[in-house]
Amino acid sequence: MSSSGRYKLIYDKLYELYGDCSCPLVHDTPFQLLAAVMLSAQCKDERVNMVTKELFALAPDAKTMANLPVERIREIIHPCGLDNAKSRNLHASAEKIVDDFGGVVPQTMEELTSLPGIGRKSANVILGNAFNIPGFPVDTHVTRLLNRLGMVKSSTPEKIEAEVCRAVPPELWCNFSHLLITHGRQVCPARKPDCDHCPLNTVCKFPGGK
């Protein structure tokens, strides 16, 4: 079976299990998604959603976030961890969005990654979930699963993204990432993957596969 065929099989099996997935980060606008994605680094989505509820009540858009003192942002987002760096990046990104993009979150990879604290993974999340522009975010779950499945042999997100995007149709990229992340959390965690109940065990290269 070709690489594209194996990816399609994996996608179909996961889609049967989870269907169309949505971003678990609560947001009403592209800017709010950008802020939530930034806060989600090394922090669980549930905690981010608790914190952004308070944060967005004070600063729901780039202009109000840029006008909010960095120290106040830091106080609010402290439960998310890495609050010093995250507060600085969030404030600086809000200022840049206001100054360089008229207060509107940009819609290209180059422009998004020019914002402080936004890398390719974060940009792909924003493109796919806020603008429905094809993007394939690669996080630790995606990296782990695709290596275990034998689809890639790399820990470099950019290489994994490029390989998947060559083999998978663009319209599937965003949901495929969601499917892999969901499966990584529910069935195939880093420790003790539940291979016996995994729908991918017949195509998986991991020792627990069949």
Burial of 62 (0-12, 13-18, 19+ CB in 10 A): buried
User: Measured between alpha carbons, how far is residue 53 from residues 27, 42, 60, 117, 141 in Å?
Assistant: 9, 19, 10, 21, 26
Instruction: Name which of 145, 129, 138, 130 is nearest 159 in CA terms.
Output: 138
Domain that holds residue 36: 30-104
Mean of the pLDDT values across residues 44-61? 96
**Structure confidence at residue 122 (pLDDT):** 96
Structural contact between residues 43 and 63, judged by C-beta atoms closer than 8 angstroms: no
73 and 90 Cβ atoms separated by less than 8 Å: yes
d(CA 61, CA 182) in angstroms, rounded, equals 29
| pLDDT tens sequence across 120-130 | 999 999 999 99
* Listed residues 49, 81, 104: the one ending a domain: 104
| Confidence at residue 206, expressed as pLDDT on a 0 to 100 scale | 86
Mean pLDDT of 43-61: 96
Q: Quick check: 209 pLDDT over 60? A: no
Does this model's pTM top 0.85? My answer is yes
Does residue 129 fall inside a structural domain? no
* CATH number of the domain encompassing residue 150: 1.10.1670.10
Q: Strand, coil or helix: what is 85? A: helix
Average pLDDT across the chain, whole number: 95
pLDDT at 163 over 60: yes
CATH number of the CATH domain containing 84: 1.10.340.30
Statement to judge: residues 140 and 74 lie in one domain: no
The percent of residues above 70 in pLDDT, for the chain, comes to 99
Active site residues: 121, 139
